[in-house]
């Protein structure tokens, strides 16, 4: 998979090199634009990296630009549909630039040290609005629609506001604590609950804080799930179904994680439950969720008939070899011609 990705990236760079030689003035203006964006948002990017590195809840935001870049590469290599037309939407692009400017003003107005990363949120939203504005200003709605998957993944690089996180975490804490109590009682464990505190007899006590509510896993799972669903050859209904199922499934998986921790405490003691199992449970939960999403996508992508007897793809159409992405194992093109993008 990674070898094919690197080869696709090499093809894209070669394509850009040919375009730059054909239109050197456009290449120079493009380089100036990139440098200008880096200068305008340099401090925002530094603050964003600090939040991703030093706050455990937002570690996943460092992966979001990588996922967005990979999504852009996949869409680019698929090529533009024949009916797509480049029609710059200057008014809509200007509105996006205005929104980006307002977000920068809001970023500068954040002075509360307890909500320091809210400024990073405003700055990140400004970057997303600027990207949308540039695509609309230069190429129009159809191009933005085609690359909407990559832009949507870029949104996951923006940390949520602290007040919004708290508002979502409280209900998740209640659901996780209540669900764990119910399941443990069904299993015959002597578990009682007082608010967000679970007691296993008199030997073990666990408090379901916001980090244990499943929210941290939910953010990361939504990011990876969006990439997995978008990279597959699925219908829009299947993609939406996968994404809509992610939050409840993540919550149920978190309840199962807490139940296993209570069982572990009952069998092996509180020290084992809170040290070894508690440290590894988040990683195991994430890996299980990712594996389940990959399996679900593979099931939905399966041909409805055999590939030798005219089977169809999950979208009900004959599979196009040039449109299969790295994650699939579709047939290879019979022609020796380079299957590069038709146009960008």
Residues 7 and 153 in one domain: yes
209 neighbors 172 (Cβ within 8 angstroms) = no
| Selected residue with higher pLDDT from 331 and 32 | 32
Residue 324 lies in a domain: no
Residue 121 lies in a domain: yes
Residues 78 and 153 in one domain: yes
Residue 325 lies in a domain: no
| Selected residue with higher pLDDT from 139 and 14 | 139
What confidence score (pLDDT) does residue 221 get? 84
Residues 98 and 138 in one domain: yes
Residues 146 and 173 in one domain: no
Residue range(s) defining the domain that contains residue 197: 164-301
Which of 129, 159, 189 terminates a domain? The answer is 159
Residue 8 lies in a domain: yes
Helices 148-155 and 215-231: crossing angle, nearest 10°? 170
| Selected residue with higher pLDDT from 118 and 35 | 35
- Count how many domains the chain has: 2
Residue 328 pLDDT class (50, 70, 90 cuts): very low
Residues 116 and 193 in one domain: no
Residue 310 lies in a domain: no
Examine the pLDDT at 270 and tell me if it is beyond 50.
yes
pTM to 2 decimals?
A: 0.73
Examine the pLDDT at 230 and tell me if it is beyond 60.
yes
Examine the pLDDT at 309 and tell me if it is beyond 70.
no
What average pLDDT does this structure show over 81-109?
Answer: 88
What confidence score (pLDDT) does residue 341 get? 45
Residue 292 lies in a domain: yes
Residues 295 and 200 in one domain: yes
Instruction: Dump pLDDT digits (tens) for 104-143.
Output: 898 888 766 566 667 888 989 999 999 999 999 888 898 8
Residue 313 lies in a domain: no
Residues 66 and 148 in one domain: yes
What average pLDDT does this structure show over 278-282?
Answer: 71
Residues 203 and 131 in one domain: no
Residues 96 and 139 in one domain: yes
Residue 247 pLDDT class (50, 70, 90 cuts): confident
Residues 109 and 210 in one domain: no
- CB-count burial class (<10 Å; 0-12, 13-18, 19+) for 154: buried
Examine the pLDDT at 3 and tell me if it is beyond 70.
no
How does DSSP assign 67-119, residue by residue?
HHHHHHHHHHHH---TT------HHHHHHHHHHHHHHHHHHHH---GGGHHHH
Please list, in sequence order, all residues whose beta carbon lies within 8 angstroms of the beta carbon of residue 154, skipping any fewer than 6 positions away.
Answer: 64, 65, 68, 127, 128, 131
Give me 188's structure tokens. Answer: 């015959």
Residue 310 pLDDT class (50, 70, 90 cuts): very low
Residues 9 and 120 in one domain: yes
Examine the pLDDT at 8 and tell me if it is beyond 70.
no
What confidence score (pLDDT) does residue 335 get? 42
Residues 212 and 115 in one domain: no
What confidence score (pLDDT) does residue 325 get? 39
Helices (H), the chain: 2-22, 24-54, 64-78, 90-109, 116-138, 141-146, 148-155, 162-186, 215-231, 236-268, 270-272, 278-301
What confidence score (pLDDT) does residue 103 get? 92
Which of 159, 194, 213 terminates a domain? The answer is 159
- Residue 24 CA to residue 28 CA, distance in Å, equals 6
Residue 273 lies in a domain: yes
Which of 135, 159, 183 terminates a domain? The answer is 159
What confidence score (pLDDT) does residue 254 get? 82
What confidence score (pLDDT) does residue 342 get? 43
| Ranges 94-108, 195-209, 288-302, most confident | 94-108
| Selected residue with higher pLDDT from 333 and 43 | 43
């Amino acid at each position: 998979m990674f070898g094919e990705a690197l080869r696709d990236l090499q093809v894209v760079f070669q394509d850009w090199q040919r375009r730059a030689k054909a239109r050197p003035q456009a290449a120079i203006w493009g380089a100036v634009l990139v440098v200008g964006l880096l200068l305008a948002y340099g401090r925002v990017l530094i603050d964003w990296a600090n939040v991703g590195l030093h706050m455990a809840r937002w570690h996943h935001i460092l992966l979001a630009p990588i996922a967005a870049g990979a999504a852009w590469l996949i869409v680019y290599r698929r090529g533009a549909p024949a009916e797509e037309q480049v029609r710059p939407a200057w008014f809509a692009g200007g509105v996006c630039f205005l929104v980006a400017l307002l977000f920068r003003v809001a970023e500068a107005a954040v002075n509360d040290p307890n909500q320091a990363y809210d400024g990073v949120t405003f700055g990140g939203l400004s970057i997303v609005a600027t990207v949308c504005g540039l695509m609309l200003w230069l190429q129009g709605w159809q191009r933005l629609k085609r690359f909407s998957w990559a832009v949507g993944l870029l949104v996951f690089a923006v940390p949520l506001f602290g007040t919004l996180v708290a508002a979502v975490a409280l209900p998740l804490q209640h659901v996780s604590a209540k669900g764990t109590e119910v399941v443990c009682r069904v299993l015959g464990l002597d578990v009682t609950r007082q608010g967000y505190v679970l007691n296993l007899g008199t030997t073990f006590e666990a408090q379901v804080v916001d980090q244990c509510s499943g929210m941290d896993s939910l953010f990361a799972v939504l990011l990876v799930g969006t990439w997995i669903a978008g990279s597959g050859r699925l219908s829009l209904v299947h993609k939406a179904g996968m994404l809509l199922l992610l939050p409840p499934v993540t919550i149920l998986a978190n309840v199962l994680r807490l139940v296993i921790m209570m069982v572990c405490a009952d069998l092996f003691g509180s020290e084992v439950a809170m040290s070894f199992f508690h440290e590894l449970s988040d990683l195991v939960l994430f890996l299980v969720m990712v594996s389940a999403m990959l399996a679900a996508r593979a099931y939905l992508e399966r041909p409805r008939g055999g590939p030798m007897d005219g089977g169809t793809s999950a979208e009900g159409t004959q599979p196009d070899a040039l449109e299969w992405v790295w994650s699939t194992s579709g047939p290879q093109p019979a022609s020796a011609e380079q299957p590069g993008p038709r146009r960008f």
